[in-house]
Amino acid sequence: MFYKQTVNNIKVVIIPLDGGLLDLNRLRFNYFKRICKKHNYNITKKEFEDSLGNMKTMYQQFPISKNYSSEEINNVIERDLFEYAKLKPDAIKKEGTEELLHFFNQRKIKVAVLSTHKIKSAIRYLQLTKLYNQIDFIIGGDSELPGLPDPAVLTTTLEQLDCQPSEAMLVANFPSLLSAGNQILMNVIYLNDLCSANETVIPRVFKIAKNNFDVINVFLFSPYDTMEIYSPLLGMSKDMDLETLNQTYHHLLEEYKNDEQLIELVRDTYHYFLGQIVSEDDYPIIEPSFFKEYSNNESNKDSSINKKNNDLSSLLKNQKNTKTSIGTDLNEVNNLIDQINGNVSNENIEENKQEKLQIEKEKTIGSKLADFGYTLIIDALVSFIALLLYVGFEDFINGPGIGASIVSKIIELYITIALAPFKLIFNGLNSLINLVPDYSTITAGNQFLSTLAIELLFAIIFNIIIIYICKLVYRLIKNIGVENEDN
């Protein structure tokens, strides 16, 4: 979508909490990627980024949704994510976050924070990271408003802050948020988060920023970064018609195709003059295919939803105040204030209990028992076959020859190692408690089991212990590998 954008006379900045101020999108992606990997499904950052915008539906497009609902996945991820944040509150802040908020406060620019998840969680995160007092307005993804890319969440925020889209700057960091900003012709800075901005993003934003320090630089230096000085050099100007500008642009792309820096300059200059020509000549707005996909989906929404949104917007408009505004559902303000003051209602307690339900249990009690039974049967079968082979080839094993001697030594070493823990345990207990028989007494045999059978039983138990130790080591190595891959 092409329209003229500016950084001048900005009154309000809307910035996402998730991936904008705090590094929550990356942490969510790493956690969800691990869950999917355990279910033999791999996801990419691009797939996850495209799903952002609506907490109620963001996990529905993934195969894991066949086993778990979006609510269940959200509960377990958000619970563990906040526990991690409590341990490292400073580590989840994105680079330049504090400086960016301080800069806006100095410039008297209001800051509205948008969260794609629950507003209560957003407040907790802002309090935890000590950013709450620098925010003027917070809006969450659990209101009755439709989720992104519907622009209702943005228009509601602007209405509440008495601001026009042309007077606001949206810091977008994922496609659905960018699409919503474009629909209401907002000024947009695209902040690279999970994925870097691609070529479809460039013509739809004012600038692209690598981090929050870059956002500050855009506000500081963009008013002086004019493309007019490149006009005579590149042969593009606002006096051209749209067709001539397009022809010149494609000619320059072909001419300087081997020089990446010049190509970037050509593109920036082209989009600068394109915005001016579209604005002055009132050309129809051009929608790229990426934006059309969102527009077509949203155009099919039921009219009753639109009426509900209008009613909610009117309610907000009639109840504006000069204090810090929280969220879009004014009926929840009192509950949120209680939370801010540390007074948690029964409803919140119940919600916290529900969030403690763990969906990520690969092995239930039944499956663990089945796994143990399977391991025991295989172990006993292998041990019994080994005993039969030993009895059948006992003459060979105890006979002369280097090969027989090596096999005999290996068997003796295994039996010594396998039985040593049991000798140590029973002899130790016997020395402390006389009622506990020592190892010799236990293995002496009885009317039910012979000495050989008892030693075979001990060997089976020893084998099971070794098997589970190997499984534990394997899981630890696998988890370390996943963590290294995530980092």
What digits encode the pLDDT tens for the residues 376-385? 888 888 888 8
- Give me the pLDDT at residue 419, please: 87
- Tell me the β-bridge partners of 112: 14, 137
Does pLDDT of 7 surpass 50? yes
Architecture of domain 12-225+287-355: 3-Layer(aba) Sandwich (3.40)
Task: Give me 239's structure tokens.
Answer: 């006096």
The pLDDT-based confidence of 434 (bands split at 50, 70, 90) is: confident
Does pLDDT of 362 surpass 80? no
- Give me the pLDDT at residue 325, please: 44
- Give me the pLDDT at residue 132, please: 95
The answer to whether 173 touches 192, Cβ cutoff 8 Å, is yes
The pLDDT-based confidence of 370 (bands split at 50, 70, 90) is: confident
- Give me the pLDDT at residue 191, please: 97
Min mean pLDDT across 202-206, 257-261, 282-286 is at 282-286
Instruction: Give the pLDDT confidence of 213-261 residue by residue, as tens digits.
Output: 999 989 987 765 556 666 677 788 878 888 888 889 888 888 888 888 7
- Give me the pLDDT at residue 227, please: 61
- Give me the pLDDT at residue 482, please: 55
Q: What is the mean pLDDT of residues 64-72?
A: 86
Q: Residue 453, CB half-sphere, CA atoms under 13 Å: how many?
A: 6
Does pLDDT of 393 surpass 80? no
The residue to which tokens 């993003």 are assigned: 201
The answer to whether 116 touches 28, Cβ cutoff 8 Å, is no
The answer to whether 60 touches 70, Cβ cutoff 8 Å, is yes
The pLDDT-based confidence of 141 (bands split at 50, 70, 90) is: confident
For residue 6, which of 280, 286, 276, 191 has the smallest C-alpha distance? Answer: 276
The answer to whether 301 touches 26, Cβ cutoff 8 Å, is no
Q: Residue 304, CB half-sphere, CA atoms under 13 Å: how many?
A: 0
CA separation for the pair 265, 267 (Å, rounded): 5
The answer to whether 118 touches 142, Cβ cutoff 8 Å, is yes
Residue % of the chain over a pLDDT of 90: 34
Does pLDDT of 283 surpass 70? no
- Give me the pLDDT at residue 28, please: 94
Min mean pLDDT across 132-146, 150-164, 267-281 is at 267-281
Q: Quickly count: other Cβ atoms within 10 Å of residue 145's Cβ.
A: 23
- Tell me the β-bridge partners of 14: 112, 170
Does pLDDT of 114 surpass 90? yes
Q: Quickly count: other Cβ atoms within 10 Å of residue 281's Cβ.
A: 10
Task: Give me 102's structure tokens.
Answer: 């301080």
- Give me the pLDDT at residue 475, please: 81
Is the bond preceding residue 232 a cis peptide, omega within 30 degrees?
no
Min mean pLDDT across 12-21, 187-196, 364-373 is at 364-373
Instruction: Give the pLDDT confidence of 295-311 residue by residue, as tens digits.
Output: 444 444 444 434 444 44
Does pLDDT of 351 surpass 60? no
- Give me the pLDDT at residue 485, please: 54
With b for 16 or more beta-carbon neighbours within 10 A and e for fewer, the 92-131 pattern comes to bbbebbbebbebbeeeebbbbbbbbbbbbbbbbbbebbeb
- Give me the pLDDT at residue 333, please: 44
For residue 293, which of 407, 170, 179 has the smallest C-alpha distance? Answer: 179
The answer to whether 189 touches 218, Cβ cutoff 8 Å, is yes
The answer to whether 384 touches 453, Cβ cutoff 8 Å, is no
Query: Where exactly are the structural domains of the chain?
Result: 12-225+287-355, 231-286, 365-486
- Give me the pLDDT at residue 445, please: 64
pTM over the 0.75 mark: no
